[in-house]
Amino acid sequence: MSVPKPMMRGLLAKRLRFHLPIAFTVAIAASLAYKFMVAEPRKRAYADFYKNYDAVKEFNAMREAGIFESARPSGE
Amino acid sequence: MLATRALRLIGKRAISTSVCVRGGHGVAKVEDYTLPAYFDRRDSPLPDVSYVQSLSPEQKSLKEKEMGSWAALSNDEKIALYRISFKQSFAEMNQGSAEWKSVLGGVFFFLGFTGLVIIWQRIYVYGAVPHTFDPEYKQQELQRMLDMRVNPIEGISSKWDYENKQWKK
């Protein structure tokens, strides 16, 4: 019956000491991963697309394809 | 009490003062479920009642001994007193079981059965799919999407090579 007295205090502090650094590291790692694997490539893709974008040329190509109702292909 | 006093005023009748509820039927029978119950729960460590309600003679004498100095109790007597008050210790009530295997098995079984039901439904209940699902129609849809430059930066039109009229390698 001689069981040692169990830990009565500081249980939350002990848990936090262990889990809080892990939580912060995982959160920061997740956000960095998202930034460099999703956000940056997307921004670069948009920048590259619009670097040499000619809106009029694209419009004419779409017009010739016949998708517009008010701007029919030049042949009609 | 009030009823019997009123009746005594009306006439001298021999009414037992212990039967004092309207209708003269007596006090309602106490149902088991209305009394405080015992339960083993981690989050409610001290139940409303002791586990053992009717003590045997040895348990009664043990309870008398408990009134004195606890240092005089042997370890077995302390455990006996604990078992009078509680059914399972925290260690006993917290121990896991193999029930999760049966639960998971049941879940998978019914998921499989649901799959069979859905297959039967697809064959015997649903009608034909609309003409817009025909491969030729789908091809025309895709061509129109590419003509419209749908999602030209990261999506479908970005994967199409407009110069060579083919998918980008």
* Stated length of chain A: 76
Residue type, A22: I
**Residues from A in contact with B at Cβ < 8 Å:** 1, 42, 45-46, 49, 58, 61-62, 65-67
B110-127 pLDDT, tens digit per residue, is: 999 999 999 999 999 999
B32-61 pLDDT, tens digit per residue, is: 889 999 999 999 989 999 999 889 999 999
What's phi and psi for B138, nearest 5 deg? -60, -40
Which pLDDT score is estimated for B141?
Answer: 97
What's the rounded Cα separation, in Å, for the pair B10 and A67? 102
Enter the DSSP assignment of B34: G
* Chain position carrying tokens 């061509």: B143
Which pLDDT score is estimated for B146?
Answer: 96
- In the stretch 134-163 of chain B, residues with CB closer than 8 A to chain A read 144, 147-149, 152-154, 158, 162
Neighbours of A62 (CB within 10 A): 16
| Inter-chain touch A62–B149, beta carbons under 8 Å | yes
| Inter-chain touch B152–A49, beta carbons under 8 Å | yes
Which pLDDT score is estimated for A2?
Answer: 79
Pair B89, B110: CB distance under 8 Å? no
Quick one: which of A45, A44, A17 has its CA closest to B152?
A: A45
Give the rounded distance of the alpha carbon of B87 from its chain centre. Answer: 22
* Chain position carrying tokens 């009078």: B84
Residue in A45, A58, A61 nearest the CB of B153: A45
A41-76 pLDDT, tens digit per residue, is: 999 999 999 999 999 999 999 999 999 999 999 987
What's the rounded Cα separation, in Å, for the pair B164 and B157? 13
Which pLDDT score is estimated for B3?
Answer: 55
Pair A54, A45: CB distance under 8 Å? no
Q: Evaluate the CA torsion angle B83, B87, B89, B90 in order and state its sign.
A: negative
The pairing of strands B160-161 and B166-167 is: antiparallel
CA distances from B140 to A60, B30, B49, B135 (A): 20, 78, 76, 9
What's the rounded Cα separation, in Å, for the pair A59 and B131? 31
* Chain position carrying tokens 């190509």: A61
Quick one: which of B129, B127, B164, B165 has its CA closest to B146?
A: B165
Report the complex ipTM.
0.78
What's the rounded Cα separation, in Å, for the pair A43 and A36? 10
Enter the DSSP assignment of B161: E
Give every residue of chain B whose pLDDT is below 70, as ranges: 1-23
| For residue A3, pLDDT beyond 70 | yes
| Inter-chain touch B149–A1, beta carbons under 8 Å | no
Token pair recorded at residue B29: 């029978």
Enter the DSSP assignment of B166: E
